[in-house]
Structure formats: structure tokens, C-alpha cells
């Protein structure tokens, strides 16, 4: 089936930068939205940023002005450039692909997919 593979996480000092990548693979007809969520210890999984196939973007208030999301429709890939990182950005970051359309056996199917997650740690 469809798989999402993330890369780019790691350990960085406060004020530093990281770039996350997520590539969706499989028999995909189209994807409506791709984005990034994060979950810190003891917290809920929250939206960080998302982008539609038409380039419409959303950002959590806590990352506006610091993070930038971009995508490549031809490669089914999304990127998250994270600048001016803060210790509170420390979390596991999960890639999400929403409304992934497949056409199999004369029928359309819509599903959501999640990556396994990549750890981002920001030290003070």
C-alpha cells in the first residue's frame, strides 16, 4: 500500500535549523493535502503545518514566521524547513497524507496515511 518515509530529524541547539522531508510512495492517483504533526511527551498530536496540492498552506501559531512548508506534487513529497528552533519544538514529528486517492479495479478509494515519525530534539 501507500507508505510515507520521513527524514531530517535530529539534535540541534536552540536557534538552529533542521529540514524535514517526507515522500509518499505507492499506487497513488492524487493527494489532497500533506502536512506535519508533532507530539511531545504527555501531549496530544497537533498540526504543525500543511499544504494542499494547489499550494495552500496552514501553520500553527507557535511556528509562524519560523517554519516554512513546501511540496513537490510530481514527487509526492513535502518538506518542512524549521528555523530559529526552540526547546519547546522538541517532539516526534509525523508526516501525514490526507485524502490519498487510488483507482483500483474500476473504483476510487480514499484513505489517510501516517509516517512512522522522526525525533526532533532542541537543546538549550
Which residues of the chain register pLDDT less than 50? none
Q: What is the pLDDT of residue 118?
A: 97
Instruction: State the cell numbers at 7.
Output: 527524514
Let me know: does 111 contact 94? Beta carbons within 8 Å: no
Q: What is the pLDDT of residue 104?
A: 84
Between CA 109 and CA 1 the distance in angstroms is 12
The strand pair at 118-123 and 10-13 is best described as parallel
Q: How far is CA 89 from CA 48, 50, 106, in A?
A: 10, 17, 44
Which phi and psi (to 5°) does residue 88 adopt? Answer: -70, -10
Let me know: does 82 contact 19? Beta carbons within 8 Å: yes
Amino acid at each position: 500500500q501507500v507508505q510515507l518515509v520521513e527524514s531530517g530529524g535530529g539534535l540541534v541547539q536552540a536557534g538552529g535549523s533542521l529540514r524535514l522531508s517526507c515522500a509518499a510512495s505507492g499506487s497513488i492517483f492524487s493527494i489532497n493535502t500533506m502536512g506535519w504533526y508533532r507530539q511531545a511527551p504527555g501531549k496530544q498530536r497537533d498540526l504543525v503545518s500543511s499544504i494542499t496540492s494547489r499550494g495552500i498552506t496552514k501553520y500553527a501559531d507557535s511556528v509562524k514566521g519560523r517554519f516554512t512548508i513546501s511540496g513537490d506534487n510530481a514527487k509526492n513529497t513535502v518538506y518542512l524547513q524549521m528555523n530559529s528552533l526552540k526547546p519547546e519544538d522538541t517532539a516526534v514529528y509525523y508526516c501525514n497524507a490526507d485524502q490519498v486517492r487510488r483507482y483500483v479495479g474500476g473504483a476510487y478509494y480514499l484513505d489517510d496515511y501516517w509516517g512512522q515519525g522522526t525525533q526532533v530534539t532542541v537543546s538549550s
